Amino acid sequence: MGFSKQINGLDASADDRFVSQRTLKGHIHSDGVALHSGEAVSMTLIPGHADSGIIFKRTDVDGQDALVPATWDRVVDTRMCTTIANDDGVRVATIEHLMAAFAGCGIDNVLVEIDGPEVPVMDGSSGPFVMMIESVGVVEQDSPRRIVRVLKPISVEDGESRASLTPGPYCTLDMEIDFDSRAVAQQALSVGLVNGTFCKELAEARTFGFLHEVEQLRAAGLAKGGSLDNAVVVSGDEVLNEDGLRYDDEFVRHKTLDAVGDLYLAGGQIIGGFSATRTGHALNNALLRALFADDDAWCYDMSRGDEVETAVDGGIFAETVSGVSV
């Protein structure tokens, strides 16, 4: 996502208030299981150069063909996860939880080396990735952080599902979900991504699925690695996990986590309000495509300290609007 220091008519070198880009202080390695393929996966996170963005590298593929930039226009599949691919068809799937961790921890540049076509699911949340990032630490870089500022309302719909972006001084998310199961039912959450809110309120929320859909998913080559160790499993109106839920409204929190990861494919933090009802990976990506298709709806800008202070002073925090517990 390379860009110069001249952004939106502002010279970053002349403004010492800009927020610097950040990357990891060192390498991080982890092993795990892929949620959908069920295969063992090894992954290494490597500090990235300023302005390089987030790039995946398939170590099981030779040469430059192995590189896959994590951007909205590289999304090629949204069935049960977000999958990106390069021009040669090299894919990386289930990137949303890792992307959400990068967004929540303010990581702009990193190279993700992976020896297969899918990111490890870990425990089904972003929590393990956040812990990995916190364990190695982050370092600021000598380049301003790029943001995507929403300039006018943009919305997309698909049946009863809808999602929108509106102008605003910081990043806020309003999410509503509605499922037939009483274990999930109707839930809503409003959250602002400031002052560590993602790590405190969203990162630990796990992906979820319904037992009656497992056979159908596996027949389609999906969810082969899914288990009670890496997902909340709902059967009828009951949660099957022995320890229950981490939050009474864990389902809507995870949907919000997914949206954070999907929206970070914009190539920078979106500054504006995101609102969605019954959304998923497909509609999240459709919203980004609609945004970037309208040159009057957005602009690149640099993140500055006064924006962060405004967000904190505004008292933005995670708030459950309504929820149904098991």
* Phi and psi, residue 232, nearest 5°: -85, 125
Q: What is the Cα–Cα distance from 51 to 21, expressed in whole angstroms?
A: 8
Identify the three-state secondary structure at position 270. Answer: strand
Q: Which of 36, 97, 254, 281 is catalytic?
A: 281
- Quickly list DSSP for 145-200: PEEEEE-S-EEEEETTEEEEEE--SS-EEEEEEE-SSTTT-EEEEEEE--TTHIII
The yes-or-no answer on residue 97 being catalytic is: no
Cα three-residue angle 313-318-324, rounded to 5 degrees: 155
Nearest by Cα to 86 from 102, 75, 99: 75
Please, is 300 exposed, middle or buried when counting C-beta atoms within 10 Å of its C-beta (0-12, 13-18, 19+)? middle
Copy the structure tokens of residue 164.
Answer: 């929108």
**Residues labelled catalytic:** 281
